[in-house]
Amino acid sequence: MSHQEFQSCIDACVRCAQECEHCMTACLGGPDVQSMAACIRLDRDCAAICWTTAAFMSRRSEFDAEVCRLCASVCAACGNECERHSHDHCRRCAEACRRCAEACQQTAG
């Protein structure tokens, strides 16, 4: 398979990484950073694995399926945490995480 065949998953990973970066920044700028600590940590982890997964798929790494499976797990955890909060940025992040987790699960097979 070429990297173009993974394009929808790559796009989902990039969108998710961007939403996680935005969510983390918004949480850090909020009035009660301490109560958002778990969200911030998961946003950071999720953004990192999403950027990495997009890169692995883009270069058609032999490890892309394993990385996709890990990405799906991290996205699910981040989405669950973000859903606990009522902030708009958390809601958008949770939705992006769900879409990415589904795309990575399909890609990993």
Q: What is the pLDDT of residue 2?
A: 56
Grouping H, G, I as helix, E, B as strand and the rest as coil, residue 84 is coil
Cα diameter, the chain: 47
Grouping H, G, I as helix, E, B as strand and the rest as coil, residue 2 is coil
Q: Is 44 buried (19+), middle (13-18) or exposed (0-12) by CB count in 10 A?
A: middle
Beta-carbon count within 10 A of 2 CB: 7
Q: What is the pLDDT of residue 12?
A: 97
Q: What is the pLDDT of residue 10?
A: 96
Tell me, what amino acid is at 73?
S
Q: What is the pLDDT of residue 5?
A: 74
Q: Looking at domain 3-108, which CATH architecture does it have?
A: Up-down Bundle (1.20)
48, two tokens = 């990192």
Q: pLDDT tens digits for 12-39?
A: 999 999 999 999 999 999 999 999 999 9
Q: pLDDT tens digits for 49-91?
A: 999 999 999 999 999 999 999 999 999 999 999 999 999 999 9
Q: What is the pTM of this model?
A: 0.93
